């Protein structure tokens, strides 16, 4: 009887561990739930700012605000302001390419836009 109870306990623990791990997989990739509009932009000396807007691409995802906006190269430009799903990028006047990235608070949704500074 003790042996049967021990075997049942092991089977139960194995099933519980398997069931617990099965729910940990991600079903959406971080970059598929959100987009940035415009996806790319060319800025010049006379046009140094751009407003970007984030939007969901799926209906089964919720953006958790505030969104985190960042740039790959702050020497080229920075996010000067953001509110809700929009952000204002301002060029520092240098020539090059900068990537603007936006993430929601959970980190589950992410999107990028390319800024070409001519």
Q: What is the mean pLDDT of residues 44-57?
A: 95
What's the confidence (pLDDT) of residue 84? 95
What's the confidence (pLDDT) of residue 3? 52
The CA distance from 43 to 100, in Å, is 13
What's the confidence (pLDDT) of residue 26? 27
Beta strand 34-37 with 68-71: parallel, antiparallel or unpaired?
unpaired
Q: What are the chain's domains?
A: 34-117 (2.60.40.1080)
- Pair 81, 69: CB distance under 8 Å: no
Q: pTM here?
A: 0.72
Q: Give the per-residue SS3 of the chain.
A: CHHHHHHHHHHHHHHHHHHHHHCCCCCCCCCCCEEEECCEEEECCCCCEEEEEEEECCCCCCCCCCCEEEECCCCCEEEEEEECCEEEEEECCCCEEEEEEEECCCCCCEEEEEEEEC
Q: Which residue has the higher pLDDT, 104 or 33?
A: 104
- Dump pLDDT digits (tens) for 58-71: 887 788 899 999 99
What's the confidence (pLDDT) of residue 51? 98
């Amino acid at each position: 009887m003790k042996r049967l109870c021990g075997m049942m306990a092991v089977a139960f623990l194995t099933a519980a561990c398997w069931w617990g791990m099965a729910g940990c997989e991600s079903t959406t990739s971080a970059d598929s739930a959100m987009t940035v509009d415009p996806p790319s932009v060319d800025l010049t000396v006379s046009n140094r700012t751009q407003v970007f807007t984030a939007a969901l691409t799926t209906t089964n995802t919720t953006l958790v605000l505030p969104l985190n906006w960042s740039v790959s190269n702050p020497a080229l430009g920075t996010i000067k302001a953001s509110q809700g799903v929009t952000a204002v990028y301002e060029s520092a006047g240098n020539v090059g390419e900068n990537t603007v990235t936006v993430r929601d608070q959970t980190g589950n949704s992410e999107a990028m836009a390319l800024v070409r500074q001519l």
